[in-house]
Structure formats: C-alpha cells, structure tokens
Amino acid sequence: MIVIRVSIYEKNQIRKNAQKYRLSISDLGRQFLLNGHAWAKEINTGSEAILDRKTLIGLANNLNQLTRYAHQKKELPVIMELLQKINKLFD
C-alpha cells in the first residue's frame, strides 16, 4: 500500500479525472505511476452516441465486403437497406 498526501482540492480534481475516465482513484493512480499515463476511454458528455475506432473499422470492412458482393452478383437489395441504416447513425 502506498499513501500519498494531497489537499482537498487536489483530491477532488483526482476524483473528477478518475470519473472522467471511468476508473477508480486507485486504478488511475496505479496506471499513472506504472506507465506514466492512463489508458481509458473518456465518457462522452453529450447525449449523442459516438462510434469508437474499432466499430468504425468494422463498419468500413463490412461495407467493403458488401460492395464487393454487389459487384460480383449485380444485386443491391440488402445493401441499400444497410446503407440507409448506417446513414441514420450519422444523422
């Protein structure tokens, strides 16, 4: 166990940072002390949903596969429906 003295103001700032990155104060401190930085996703403060990088890459890969399929089979029925759903995500 490591004990660190901080002021009340500093403790509140540390608590806010931990909440911002969805970590406990202990986890935040541990990551900073071991790595020099903390790896966590910041919470989106707005009401709109954000797509993370992996989701966006997955969508792009799926779209490429569907496009390739459409060119080979000369069919578009399902693809148009999926494209409309994707467009709704970004509106």
Q: Give the pLDDT confidence score for residue 75 in this predicted structure.
A: 66
Using DSSP, how many helices (H) and how many strands (E) does the chain show?
Answer: 4, 0
Q: Give the pLDDT confidence score for residue 47 in this predicted structure.
A: 43
**Same domain, yes or no: 37 and 3:** yes
**Same domain, yes or no: 38 and 62:** no
Q: Average of pLDDT values for 29-48? A: 67
Residue 38 lies in a domain: yes
Residue 48 lies in a domain: no
Number of domains comprising the chain: 2
**Same domain, yes or no: 6 and 36:** yes
Residue 84 lies in a domain: yes
Distance of CA 77 to the CA centre of its chain: 31
Statement: residue 53 has pLDDT above 90 = no
- Structural domain range at position 83: 53-90
